[in-house]
Structure 1
Amino acid sequence: METDMPAALRPLLLSAADVAHCAPPLGDIIDVVEDTYRRDAAGEVEVPAKVALHPHGPSSFLHAMPAWVAGRQALGMKWVSFFPGNAEQGAPDSSALIVLNDPLTGVPVAIMEGMWITYARTGACAALAAKYCANPMPRRVGLVGCGGLGEWSLRCLAAVFPSISEVFVASQRPASRENFCARMADQGPWTITPVDEVRQAVQDMDIVISSVPKLQTHPIVARWWSPGTVLIPLDITGSWDDATYERADRLVCDHRDNLARAFERYRPGLAIDDARGVGMQDIVSGRALGRTAATDRVMAFMTGIGSIDVAVAWDIYRRADEQKRGQRFDLA
């Protein structure tokens, strides 16, 4: 009996260098992220909460993040891990793969290194949160934590806000913030200053972005949070004390289920206050406001959703395919 042989499965393998080479400018990545939020608000996105594994307790995780963005014909999944302490064994703390699937057949068309996209899209999400939730023409930015997320956030903020003129950087180690400031000094029209106290990167800022590890203590305290400041904790639950959360006038979030699970695992004493809450998708689509007054203290949780990763990854994959970048291999 004759049967049809399946078509060859030859996905494109893209390294981190391939991804970086084929990526569009930061402004275009921010546009893709904004468009994906807008499509989500219109019901064109299917993005469940992260599926999480914690093989060594709450300090480490692996997340499966599938998504379908219909309007962009973007289908796939990110598989990302964070194992603190890996550096001591010569391995990265974070790693990620993104698998893209053909929207018509479901077959895999690409396997990509995922950390470049993770950093870029997280910075883009932070910049968009600031675009919609900060007061106009922000000048002063505070960074609490200056690893990869801090760097990408600052680069994306520069693409959105030419008004930024002062940046203050706090971190656990003096050498890390001093090196960061030296490296980023000529990356924008700003003066950038390492500071010894977290307060100096929080008080009287227009935008504060935190990206710190999960710690037993929380370095941002409520009394430093000035009226009108937007606080964007990319660490989600790591940086702020309970009083800071209670002091927020507005709580912005891009995926409530993701945030609820993070609270349950890392801050079980707190509950999501829907009375102060608003969805990022509703803000981007014009259904809601990022702030209602110039003095509002806004906390914006960009939880990391698979639809953003997959939309950006498909944009890069299409460019790589056109440029004949990467390597195809036989999977079947």
Structure 2
Amino acid sequence: MNLEEMLKKEKEKIESKIKIGSEILYLTKDQCIEAGPDVEQTLEIIERTLDAHGRKEYEMPAKIGIHPYDDVFYHAMPAYVPGQMACGEKWIECYPRNPKEYGLPQTSGLMILNEILTGFPMVIMDGAWLTAMRTPAVTSIAAAALHPDAETFGMFGCGVQGIGHVRYIVHKLMNLKKIYVYDVRRESMERLIEQVKDEVDGVELIMAASPQEVAENCDVMSSATIITRENMAVVKKEWVHAGQTILPCDLNTFWEADIQRNADKYIVDSREEHVLFDGMGYFPDGLPEIYAETGEIVAGIKEGRERKDELIVCSNIGMSVCDVAMAKHIFDAALERDLGTVLKL
């Protein structure tokens, strides 16, 4: 069956529930969670998507954005992944001030998926939950591809993403013995450990006293903190050593710029998006030379770690191919379970 035939069959399935062109399905966050994939399913979806990205089987312009405040961004993130019949866009915002000032999450967003044969929108859903699910999946898959024998993992930032990263990483790094976590707020570290302790059986969870303790003791590290144009350089280059794998989710923010610039391999999820952010001033010391994209490593097109003493940095800032793939899984499951509200267009 070719793609056109698959799309026609897909359209028939959708129209058994909603009338394309005159109706649209609306899914709340709770309904997305009910229909959504679990950790293992998410890892499967994202690994398949990264493989497709590495093989250039997608269409995804670099995310564009607006910035009403210096510490705030809105991103428009469209993508098309033919192999998963997923086509749509995420509109997402990040307000770091929200939790403290308004008692609201810092990230919110909406997903829209379109029916590919006609182009009409077919579903609107919450976009924050699937973002929280796919982001740690990318980190964990990249970690397994670059450092499968790691025994120690360090997580900087113990919010929603920190919790997700610790929850996911044990599914992909099978030799882990210790996980170090660090956050400027002790209560955040305590909350993370309380939420994940039953899911990391046999792995010791350690609240680090400082960023230096994490950096000096971990084979693999990730950071999910705030994103700023100015490099905060919390982790210093003298704390990092040969043979480590570093997987930031926060651009150039958290790590001293020389760490990325002097890495043996600098890998990114999307070249185009990193070049775009460089042009916007997020790499004031210059964008390091890019060796490969994460998907190219996952697909086996480019070599990952070739020597034990390589220092590898793999920057994953989030790609909409992953978002639309996750959203398509949620939409399909919601149709099967009769979830959501049908609205008139």
1:9 and 1:166 map into 2 onto residues whose CA distance is 54
Number of the residue aligned with 1:268: 284
- Residues 217-239 of structure 1 deviation map (CA, whole Å, 9 limit, x = unaligned): 32111111122211011112211
**Kept after mapping to 2: 8 A contact 1:84/1:93:** yes
Summarize the alignment of residues 48-87 of structure 1 with structure 2, pairs less than 5 Å apart.
Answer: 48-57=61-70, 59-87=71-99
Match of 1:45 among 55, 58, 64: 58
8 Å Cα contact 1:142-1:168 kept in structure 2 = yes
Q: Identify the match of residue 134 of structure 2 among 108, 118, 121.
A: 121
Q: How does 1:250-265 map to 2 (within 5 A)?
A: 250-264=265-279, 265=281
Task: State the match for 1:101 in structure 2.
Answer: 114
DSSP-derived class of the 1:97 partner: strand
Q: Secondary structure at the match of 2:78?
A: strand
TM superposition shift of 1:196: 1.5
In 2, Cα distance between equivalents of 1:181 and 1:320:
32
196-205 vs 46-55, greater mean Cα deviation: 196-205
CA deviation vs aligned residue, 1:90-135 (integer Å, no higher than 9, x gap): 332210100000011111111010111101110110011101111x
Match of 1:311 among 294, 314, 325: 325
In structure 2, do the counterparts of structure 1 residues 7 and 278 end up closer, same or farther at CA, with 3 Å as the change threshold? closer
- Offset of 1:285 from its aligned partner? 1.6
Q: C-alpha deviations, 1:142-189, integer Å up to 9, x for none?
A: 111111111111111122223222111111112221222233222212
> Which 4+ runs in 1 deviate beyond 3 A?
none
1:181 matched residue in structure 2: 193
Partner of 2:181: 169
Q: How much has 1:8 moved relative to structure 2? A: 4.9
Give me the whole-angstrom Cα distance separating, in 2, the residues matched to 1:7 and 1:75: 15
- How high is the TM-score relative to the length of structure 1? 0.92
Residues in 2 aligned to 1:184 and 1:104: alpha-carbon distance in whole angstroms = 43
User: Please, what is the CA RMSD of the aligned residues?
Assistant: 1.6
Q: Which amino acid aligns with 1:83?
A: Y
Q: Return the match for 1:207 from 203, 220, 223.
A: 220
Is there any run of 5+ residues in structure 2 with no aligned partner, and where?
1-18
Contact 1:208 1:230 in 2 (8 A): yes
Preserved CA contact (<8 Å) 1:174 1:196: no
8 A Cα contact 1:9 1:108, kept in partner? no
Match of 1:17 among 10, 20, 30: 30
Taking a change above 3 Å as real, the CA distance of residues 174 and 91 of structure 1, as seen in their structure-2 partners, is: closer
Q: 1:75-104, CA deviations, whole angstroms, 9 ceiling, x for partnerless residues? A: 000000012212312332210100000011
Q: Identity rate of aligned residues, in percent? A: 27
Matches of 2:126 and 2:183 in 1, distance apart?
A: 28
1:64 match: secondary structure? strand
Following TM superposition, by how much is the alpha carbon of 1:139 offset from its aligned partner in structure 2, in angstroms?
1.5
1:301 equivalenced with 2:315 (yes/no): yes
Q: Secondary structure at the match of 1:202?
A: helix
- Alignment gaps of 5+ in structure 1: 1-5
- Alpha-carbon distance in structure 1 between the residues aligned to 2:84 and 2:170: 26
Q: Residue 296 of structure 2 aligns with which residue?
A: 282
